[in-house]
């Protein structure tokens, strides 16, 4: 689509600044940026808090500027909930232009983990792995090209997270605070916190706060 390398660099920056390639996995905060550029990204994500954590590989695909699908699979665990495989997927709809310094997006996801029961605890319970998490929220972001690295973006994502199944269905209000940094034309890092209402650790949390980090690479942009 672009004829010169100087024109391609901003497009790749937009892809990196949308580096929240993780789906909604238990144990990883809901960090969703406000932009998307057509193309494919891959990422490695990790997160945790309150004696619970997760690691995952993820990918995102944006066929057009105003739609992004992301998903991931990994491993989550903690002292109270045992350990198990985890999965998640998310759809985001960015509403701002690709060149705007301010961005807004709507998103929704779903995630969970394989069934597991921790028999080492005297009063055994069904862990969070029997509960499905459904985050629905908006993302508000600001980005700047140049400065340190190639560019960076700050964003916040107020989210309502619904929990179904397991031992404690219900919903919580959470707030994600994130920073994306473009290191090169194709590599970026993401870091952030997720805080707000909590659930008991025995049913998977989350507790205040959760942290998350990710490393992403753009492998195809249009």
Q: Is 96 exposed, middle or buried (0-12, 13-18, 19+ CB in 10 A)?
A: middle
pLDDT at residue 121 above 70? no
Handedness of CA 44, 192, 189, 31 (dihedral sign): positive
Mean pLDDT of 113-135: 57
Q: What is the pLDDT of residues 44-102, one digit of tens each?
A: 988 887 767 888 999 999 998 899 999 999 988 766 556 788 899 999 999 988 778 89
Helix/strand/coil (H, E, C) string of the chain? Answer: CCCCHHHHHHHHHHHHHCCCCCCCCCCCCCCCCCCCCCEEEEEEEEEEECCEEEEEEEEEEEEECCEEEEEEEEEEEECCCEEEEEEEEEEEEECCCCCCCEEEEEEEEEEEECCCECCCCCCCCECHHHEEEEEEEEEEEEEEECCCCCEEEEEEEEEEEEEEECCCCEEEEEEEEEEEEECCCCEEEEEEEEEECCCCHHHCCCCCCEEEEEEEEEEEEC
Mean pLDDT of 104-129: 64
Q: What is the pLDDT of residues 142-177, one digit of tens each?
A: 988 876 667 888 999 999 999 886 556 788 999 999
* pLDDT computed for residue 52 by the predictor: 72
Q: Looking at the chain, how many residues does it have?
A: 222
Residue 124: φ, ψ to 5°: -60, 145
Buried b (16+ CB within 10 A) or exposed e, 13-42: bbbbbbbbbbbbbbbbbbbbbbbbbbbbbb
* pLDDT computed for residue 5 by the predictor: 37
Report domain 5-221's class: mainly beta
Q: What is the mean pLDDT of the chain?
A: 78
Mean pLDDT of 125-130: 45
pLDDT at residue 188 above 60? yes
List beta partners, residue 82. 78
Triad 155, 172, 93: Cα angle to 5°: 40
Q: How much is the pTM?
A: 0.83
Distance CA 130, CA 138 (A): 26
State percent of the chain over pLDDT 70.
73
pLDDT at residue 6 above 90? no
* pLDDT computed for residue 160 by the predictor: 95
Residue ranges per domain, the chain?
A: 5-221
Q: What is the pLDDT of residues 196-206, one digit of tens each?
A: 998 776 666 77
* pLDDT computed for residue 3 by the predictor: 34
Can you read off the two tokens belonging to residue 76?
Answer: 């989550």
Can you read off the two tokens belonging to residue 215?
Answer: 């490393």
């Amino acid at each position: 689509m672009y004829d010169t390398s100087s024109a391609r660099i901003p497009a790749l920056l937009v892809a990196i600044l949308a580096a929240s390639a993780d789906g909604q996995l238990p144990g990883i905060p809901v960090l969703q940026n406000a932009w998307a550029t057509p193309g494919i990204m891959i990422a490695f994500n990790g997160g945790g808090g309150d004696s619970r954590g997760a690691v995952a590989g993820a990918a995102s695909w944006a066929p057009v500027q105003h739609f992004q699908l992301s998903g991931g699979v990994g491993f989550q665990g903690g002292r109270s909930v045992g350990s198990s495989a985890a999965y998640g997927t998310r759809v985001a709809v960015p509403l701002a232009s690709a060149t705007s310094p301010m961005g807004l997006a709507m998103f929704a996801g779903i995630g969970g983990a394989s069934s597991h029961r921790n028999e080492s605890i005297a009063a055994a319970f069904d862990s969070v792995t029997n509960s499905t998490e459904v985050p629905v929220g908006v993302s508000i972001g600001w980005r700047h090209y140049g400065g340190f690295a190639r560019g960076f973006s700050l964003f916040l994502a107020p989210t309502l997270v619904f929990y179904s199944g397991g031992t404690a269905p219900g919903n919580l209000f959470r707030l994600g605070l994130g920073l994306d940094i473009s290191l090169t034309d194709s590599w970026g890092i993401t870091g952030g916190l997720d805080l707000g209402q909590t659930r008991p650790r025995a049913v998977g949390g989350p507790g205040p706060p959760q942290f998350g980090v990710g490393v992403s690479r753009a492998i195809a942009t249009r």
